[in-house]
Chain A
Amino acid sequence: MQIYLPIAEMSVNIFLLIGLGGLVGILSGMFGVGGGFLMTPLLFFIGIPPAVAVATEANQIVASSFSGVLAHVKKQTVDFKMGTVLLVGGVIGAAFGVQVFKYLKEIGQVDLLITLSYVVFLGMIGTLMFIESLGAIRRSKKKMPPRKAKRHNWIHGLPLKMRFRTSNLYISAIPPFVIGIMVGVLAAIMGVGGGFIMVPAMIYVLGMPTKVVVGTSLFQIIFVTAFTTMMHATQNFTVDAVLALLLLIGGVVGAQIGTRIGVKMKAEQLRILLAIMVLGVCLKLGLDLVLTPTELFSIGTGGH
């Protein structure tokens, strides 16, 4: 059954979209990631214009992260104060990101920017995760204790210190603010929540306890992606509500199935699987940039 997407202006199979949403939902449930960094490239592969894919994915992430944060609020694993500092930075970053996006769309380089960002970030994260989980598997075989994150580092020398009770931290507000800005820029340019950058940064840079990391990151992601959605909707007119809704339906169901699969698998195995998948998507996007395209010409959207 085909459905016509009003903003993307194309007809797509409705089950393909729900299926894609479901697949990414399963993965996000299994690995505890938002899934935006997998969904957006998949949308490119099925022919959705990149500008529409990025803006629409931001809207979909609002739904999935809101659904996720509710559970964390009940468990009291959200550091609202830390989340607020992160989101102030996030909103500033997103506002800047959307302007960059708009400018590059006008000069016809937006697709390149999106693809390059994906190749760089997926490559980095994939490689790090792969090495890290290989190490973890080796350690668990030798029965060695896992390395501890450093609690005292350069972060503690910065001014503007604040007390974050839920995270049990007394640190400067500058690092979370800067992390927020970076995540905001990524959210606007790549159509991702940015959890895959923020979660490691919260653990390794800020030294937050692992149990509050996911809830706090989801809390920040809701606001940043909501803001990004509004900016894309009002400046680029590229949010496709029908596409978002269809992806959502598959996504929420998939996430629940994925959570159950995830419980049965070992954390290291999960992470190495995710790393391989991330590197696979990265490789595909990277090859598209490097290999000689079959069609050297394209019809631009900036002409009118």
Chain B
Amino acid sequence: MRIIFLIIGLFAATIASAQETVVSELSQDGVSITATFNGSEIFLFGAIKRDAPVNASAGKLDIIIEVSGPPTETLVRQKERKVIIWVNSQSVVMKRAPSYYTIAATGPLEELLTESERSLRNLGLDYAVRVANPEDEEFRAALIRIHQKNGIYATEITPVTLTEDTLFTTKLAMPVNVVEGEYTVKTMLVRDRRVISISTSTITVRKTGIEKWIYDLAQEQAFIYGLLSLAVALLAGWTASEVFRRIRG
């Protein structure tokens, strides 16, 4: 028995010594939504750290980067024809649909990972967006379709440039309609269709400056915000009437 344990121990040690880990860094870890905000682009770059040279027989090396926006409870409604007009009828709530989703990788996910690995890690839109009831598949597909049309779910895999199986870089696009919150960036190192190392970082999306001030005021001090909106309107109305009275008179 002891010998068996010793062999297993030694074997584990050799694997550990040939271990590869992934490190990654973002060009910026925050996105500020300002008055002129029109989307943003973030560079991700990284490297693969190795304790020992890799065995030549090791499988193909790949990188997968998953960016997923804060999950929100999302309601999807279906229109139905009532008499002659189209009316919202049935609706389904999706408990945790990501508010943003994109994958950057060195190839198509189906080729890079085994099916069980993808489902285990919820990778790709077909796993990341789920419905409780399989009958609601139509609603799930609609949510993905609408989000893809609005640009907050990516339709294609963003390419990742991998240099000499060591350095990699990619460009992540944040569209103009991103919501506020913490975006999780998971960089995965794949060897032989299995994930062997993960590095996680976050991008914080926040309204800043006047946008933040207006939004917070509208949410938290709604009464004062309403009064201020009215004051601005009355002032503008008065100014307009005075200015044009002088021009005419």
Contact = CB atoms under 8 A, between A and B. Distances in A.
- Binding partners A and B: yes
A253 to B, nearest CB: 8
A293 B123 CA distance: 32
B52 interface: no
Contacts of B236: 63, 67, 245, 248-249, 252
A83 B215 CA distance: 35
Contacts of B241: 66-68, 70-71
B77 A237 contact: no
B146 A297 contact: yes
Grouping DSSP codes into helix (H, G, I), strand (E, B) and loop, the A interface class, with mixed when no group exceeds half, is: helix
Contact of B229 (A1, A11, A239, A293): A239
A292 interface: yes
A85 interface: no
B178 to A, nearest CB: 9
Interface string B37-77: 11000000000000000000000000000000000111111
B230 A226 contact: yes
Contacts of A252: 236-237, 240, 244
Interface stretch (B23-31, B79-87, B165-173, B192-200): B79-87
A11 B176 contact: yes
Nearest to A259: B244
B139 A108 contact: no
A303 B245 CA distance: 49
B76 A234 contact: no
Grouping DSSP codes into helix (H, G, I), strand (E, B) and loop, the B interface class, with mixed when no group exceeds half, is: helix
Contact of B34 (A4, A116, A226): A4
A298 interface: yes
B88 to A, nearest CB: 5
Contacts of B177: 9-11
B214 to A, nearest CB: 4
B78 interface: yes
B207 interface: yes
Contact of A241 (B81, B84, B219, B225): B225
B66 to A, nearest CB: 22
A300 B93 CA distance: 9
A6 interface: yes
B222 interface: yes
Contact of B226 (A9, A234, A297, A304): A234
A62 B238 contact: no
Contacts of B91: 108, 300
Interface string A169-184: 0000000000000000
Contacts of A59: 229-230, 233
A297 B79 contact: yes
A4 B214 contact: no
Question: Interface size for chain B: under 10, 10 to 19, 20 to 34, or 35 or more residues?
Answer: 35 or more
Nearest to B243: A252
A229 B207 contact: no
A166 interface: no
Interface in B184-239: 207, 210-212, 214-215, 218-219, 222-223, 225-230, 232-234, 236-238
B143 interface: yes
Given A4-B34, A67-B240, A237-B218, A293 B234 contact: no
A242 interface: yes
B37 A11 contact: yes
Contacts of B88: 108-109, 111-112, 298, 300
B13 interface: no
Contacts of A60: 233
B176 A4 contact: yes
Interface string A1-19: 1111011011100000000
A88 interface: no
Contacts of A99: none
A245 to B, nearest CB: 6
B73 A304 contact: yes
A65 B145 CA distance: 43
Contacts of B179: 9
Contact of B36 (A4, A296, A300): A4
The 10 closest A-B pairs by CB, nearest first: A303-B75, A233-B226, A297-B142, A66-B237, A252-B240, A300-B75, A67-B237, A63-B233, A63-B237, A62-B233
Given A2-B176, A295-B142, 14 more contacts: A2-B36, A4-B33, A4-B35, A62-B237, A63-B233, A63-B240, A108-B75, A108-B77, A239-B229, A244-B232, A293-B79, A298-B77, A300-B74, A300-B75
10 contacts: A4-B211, A6-B215, A7-B218, A60-B233, A65-B237, A242-B214, A245-B232, A252-B236, A252-B240, A298-B88
Interface of A: 1-4, 6-7, 9-11, 59-60, 62-68, 70-71, 108-109, 111-112, 116, 226, 229-230, 232-234, 237, 239, 241-242, 244-245, 248-249, 252, 255-256, 289-290, 292-293, 295-304
Interface of B: 33-38, 72-79, 81, 84-88, 91, 93, 138-139, 142-143, 145-147, 176-177, 179, 207, 210-212, 214-215, 218-219, 222-223, 225-230, 232-234, 236-238, 240-241, 244-245
